[in-house]
Amino acid sequence: MRRAFTRYRHGLLAGCALAASLAVPAANLLSFQGEEPSGSLVIYLEDGPLVSEARDRAGATYVSILELADRLGLPHAHDADSDTLTIRGPRADLEVLNNSNAVRLGPRTVRMRAPVVRDGDGWWAPIEFLTLPLADASGVRFRHEAGRPRIFAGNVAATLLDMDAAPTGDGTRLTIRAGRTINVRVQQDRDNDRVVLSVDRAPFDPRRESLEYRDGAVQSVRFDDSDGSARIVVGTRGRLANVRLVPADGNRTFHVDFVPADPVARSTVAAAPVPDERRTAGALRVVAIDAGHGGLDSGTAAHGTLEKDLTLALARRLRAAMENRLDAAFVLTRDDDREVSHEERAAVANNSGADLLISLHVGYSMDPTESTASVFVMHAVEEHEAPPVGDAMFRPWYRAWEGTRGETLRLAEILHRRLEAAIPRWEFAVRRAPVGLLASTVMPSVVIELGNANNASDLDVLTSGAFQDRLASAVLEAIEAYGRGEWL
């Protein structure tokens, strides 16, 4: 066995000679000697996380391959004479030459963009080494997204995690949404002006590593799993009067409210700098955007397109357009493919202190030639009854909409005018209907229903980027007009 091992090693040297054009020139040999690690990179393995040092050189992120080989149970040997490292895998053996881009994988050579580097007794390789030759040799698949400080290996399943922040009446609300049931524990670090939200059931795959959000209560929000355990670290501004944790959606959603101790001081702290080209929308601070349907509730389905996918694409396009042009916060009731009840959607809008809610849907008709659109406002079956008398806070939840009936109609008429001007082929008539989502919202709320999914021509229009941009621009103009107090 030792003789075969030696012959195989010499075969590598011949192969490396053939790949000399890929080797790093002697004058440019990479070395990590005397350098500090640039951070940590977590490799989630089936038997638990491996927290490894990460080093950045020449545009590539490097990790220790001996440390990983030991965790995977892969034998390895270093030949000092030839400065080569051999790793034996169940599918093939790997042989690498110090400062070479070429890796011998069994009988073939794999070429990488960055070389493997020996540093003293350690060997370092770019992440590409894991996802390509090591994966083939070990049979373990490595999944990594560029720029992210974590790698998932084998059958490890990561839970999706999303974060959103928005101002509320007395502070800031951070909303955490996970792809499955989780638990969150709050710890206040007053000495360092931060709150740590520990989240169980790692690993997570966060949609964003941090939020570009600042206000009078919160100055930073970032996800951190650098030691293999998950947490969200919130940097706060000064002393807080309270931090409230409210679970929802069967512990898949958590609302965390940050209430500053001094509301006067809060009002004097400016939010993050806003580009000069962004405009205010009057008194509007928060706008909620609802993407209809989601999860098992796919909505209409015609010509291979699902309503839930289309409404989510439209909602994201609308949010992006608004974020670029308006000085306000924007909240999506869902930003992934999951089922959300009418009550949960309304709760997201209500709890975020939204000034408006716009829900996006796609129409459907059995007549494939029909083509129309509508702006719906709430109409209850018992609307002929007198509204409740007294303080609006005592209205039943299903009649919360009555408190903003007039403003909702004003918003609907402004949307009707702007949408018809931008998209003249559709009428965008204002219609009334008992829409479940609109019943329990405490702000002016409408549903925009677009086209006819059963009409192939309408569907082509709805899925085009040009149309979606035109729609977003028209809705944005309507929101600006509403915020200025415009009436017909």
Nearest Cα residue to 307 out of 317, 322, 292, 321? 292
Q: Are strands 48-57 and 230-236 parallel, antiparallel or unpaired?
A: unpaired
pLDDT (tens, 9 = 90+) of the chain, 488 residues, equals 333 333 334 444 444 443 443 344 433 455 555 555 668 899 999 999 999 989 888 788 999 999 999 999 999 999 999 999 999 999 999 999 999 999 999 999 999 999 999 988 899 999 999 999 999 999 999 999 888 899 999 999 899 898 888 877 678 889 998 888 999 999 999 889 999 999 998 899 998 899 888 888 899 999 999 999 999 999 998 788 889 888 887 888 898 999 888 654 333 333 333 333 444 455 688 899 999 999 999 999 988 889 999 999 999 989 888 877 777 778 899 988 889 998 889 988 888 888 999 999 999 999 999 988 999 999 875 544 444 444 443 445 667 788 889 999 999 999 999 999 998 888 899 999 988 899 889 999 999 999 999 999 999 999 988 899 899 999 999 999 998 887 65
Fold of domain 2-153: Copper Amine Oxidase; Chain A, domain 1 (3.30.457)
Q: What is the torsion angle, in degrees rounded to the nearest 10, for the CA atoms of residue 366, residue 372, residue 373 and residue 374?
A: -90
Q: Residue ranges per domain, the chain?
A: 2-153, 160-273, 275-488
Q: How far apart are CA 53 and CA 50, in angstroms?
A: 10
Residue 414, CA atoms < 13 Å, CB-side half-sphere = 24
Is residue 197 packed enough to be buried (19+ CB in 10 Å), middle (13-18) or exposed (0-12)? Answer: buried
CATH architecture, range 275-488: 3-Layer(aba) Sandwich (3.40)
Q: Which residues contact 243 (CB under 8 A, 6 or more apart)?
A: 186, 188, 195, 256, 257, 258, 259
Asked whether the whole model's pTM tops 0.95, one would answer no
Fold match flag (160-273 vs 275-488): no
How remote is the C-alpha of 315 from its chain's centroid?
Answer: 14
CATH of 160-273, one of 3.40.630.10, 2.60.40.3470, 2.120.10.30, 2.60.40.10: 2.60.40.3470
Burial 400-434 (b: 16+ CB within 10 A, else e): bbbbbeeebebbbbbbbbbbbebbeebebebeeee
Q: Residue written as tokens 């035109």?
A: 470
Token representation of residue 271: 């939010």
